[in-house]
Chains A and B, each alone.
Chain A
Amino acid sequence: MLNPDSVGRTFAGAESVTVSQSEIDAFCAVLSEDNTSVAPPTFSIRITLDQSQEILSNPEIGLDWSRVVHGDQRFDIKRPIVAGDTFKCSSTIESYKVAAGNEIVTVRSDLHSEDQLVASTWSTLVVRA
């Protein structure tokens, strides 16, 4: 079970992540997107999924990733991501409830480049009973 003290707290990723053109190219190739000058709108998941998983695997938080199903996803994009962007990621546990034995957790992850917020993602995760 999630530690209730985690709700409302923000956890910062330890390392910054730099986006390469080849990562954008690979993502675009799956979608047959010819314009690779900016990343597709859902590209940020490549960074936030990894980072939030690492951040929220902290035993003090208590989220069991092995039973997680993705429920909802939302992106708020301030500007498109481009190759060379270096991001710091932070994840905030915005809400938590238990319904029919399943834990439902909404995590917001923010990507900052320098001091500028570039994208926020909200992932609602269902930890199956």
Chain B
Amino acid sequence: MIEVGTILEEKVFYVDRAMLKAYADASGDQNPIHQNEEFALSVGLPNVIAHGMLTMALVGKFVTDWAGGPAAVKEFSGRFVKPVIVPADQKVDLTVSGVVSEIDGDQIKIDLSATSAGVKVLGMSKAVVVK
């Protein structure tokens, strides 16, 4: 039974440089801050960072897995509060959690949160799904 307050089981995704390259090719976003460490450092970043939209795509996967498939999502939003930092030869976590915040007919609203290395990376994130 789904009701307001129902918790979606937390899930951990792992992000590495190979995933950033694959996402760059799949999305068309080839900004070098997501692939080239030297370039990322030169513009004042701590290291290569993940595409904000990759973070959001993975949070979207969390939602669609729960909701029963990629066609279920009607609305989806979020704010990129901190970058996901991806050092070479490491897998960093993206830990996603959610809770049902509203039910209106067949539409279920979910409040979402994502952290990496204990730091909140996606804030004010909500999805509306039809399950």
Contact = CB atoms under 8 A, between A and B. Distances in A.
Contacts of A49: 27-29, 53
Contact of A72 (B27, B57, B70, B77): B77
Interface stretch (B17-25, B84-92, B99-107, B113-121): B17-25
State the main secondary structure of chain A at its contact with B. Answer: mixed
Contacts of A27: 26-27, 57
B71 interface: yes
Query: Which interface residue of B26, B64, B73, B74 has the most chain A CB atoms within 10 A?
Result: B26
Contact of B64 (A30, A41, A70): A41
Contact of A41 (B19, B54, B76, B79): B76
A102 B73 CA distance: 33
State the main secondary structure of chain B at its contact with A. Answer: helix
Q: How large is the interface on B (under 10, 10 to 19, 20 to 34, 35 or more residues)?
A: 20 to 34
A109 B25 CA distance: 21
Contacts of A76: 74-75
B39 interface: no
Interface residues of A, number: 28
Interface of B: 19, 22-23, 25-29, 52-54, 56-58, 60-61, 63-64, 69-71, 73-80, 124, 127
Interface of A: 23, 26-27, 29-33, 35, 38-42, 45-46, 49-50, 70-77, 80, 122
